[in-house]
Amino acid sequence: MDKFVRQTLVASLVEAMRQAGSWCGRTHIQKSLFALQTLFEPEPELRYQYVLYRHGMYSFELDRDIAELEFYGGLAREEQRPYGPRYAAPGLQAFKQRVGVSLTDWTSALEFIAREVGTGNVRELEALTTVMYVSTDLSERSANPTTQLKLRRVHELKPHLSMDEIAEAQSTYDRLRVNVAKVDSLESKPS
């Protein structure tokens, strides 16, 4: 049932993002879920594998799950011509009931991500998630990477982002990490 636990998380995140006023296109879902994984570090059954793709962190597994969720009604695509589609989760309750997964312990975390990350625009999300990736990657390689080192590395990976944009994203990440501690303290282990 691992697949359905993750899919329930995705559909629940989409619901929270729409409530928070997010455009909730595919990119928003991709980046918001990456932020959730980075900040809240869920157990393996709730995680997607991400790669550093052309426009930031991207999960092909998640892409397939979104398609499958859409197929059996866990997610609904809303065409918004001439813009791209956005997603909603009108079938969330029926889906959760059927697969027997509730994830109620994740409610606060999902609302936090939806509000603090999900409402950003695509460029902001690209910058933020790349900063997250670099921070994690550099921390695994060296004991205390400096902020300047991190910013330079992000700029190497994403030269079209200005240093100001990257610095802003770093500042946002720092703020989120502080605020996550307050959310996390309210959480028991996810069910």
Q: Report the interface residues with another protein, using CB under 8 A.
A: 1, 4, 7, 23, 25-27, 30, 49-55, 58, 60, 63-64, 67-68, 71-74, 77, 79-85, 91, 94-95, 97-99, 122, 126, 157-160
H/E stretch holding 133: helix 122-141
Q: 35 or 109, CB closer to another protein?
A: 35
d(CA 151, CA 148): 5
Q: 95 or 112, CB closer to another protein?
A: 95
181: tokens are 């501690």
Report the alpha-carbon angle 170-175-177, nearest 5. Answer: 95
Q: 138 or 183, CB closer to another protein?
A: 138
Exposure string over 163-191, b if 16+ CB within 10 A, otherwise e: eebbbbbbebbeebeeebeebeeeeeebe
d(CA 167, CA 132): 12
Residues 6+ apart with CB under 8 A from 134: 150, 153, 154, 157
* Alpha carbons within 13 A on the beta-carbon side of 13: 29
Q: 67 or 149, CB closer to another protein?
A: 67
Q: 56 or 180, CB closer to another protein?
A: 56
| Min CB(88)–another protein separation in Å | 15
| Min CB(4)–another protein separation in Å | 6
| Min CB(51)–another protein separation in Å | 4
| Min CB(27)–another protein separation in Å | 5
| Min CB(176)–another protein separation in Å | 22
List of E strands, the chain? 51-53, 56-58, 76-80, 83-88
Q: 1 or 149, CB closer to another protein?
A: 1
**DSSP-assigned beta bridge partners for residue 76:** 88
| Min CB(115)–another protein separation in Å | 20
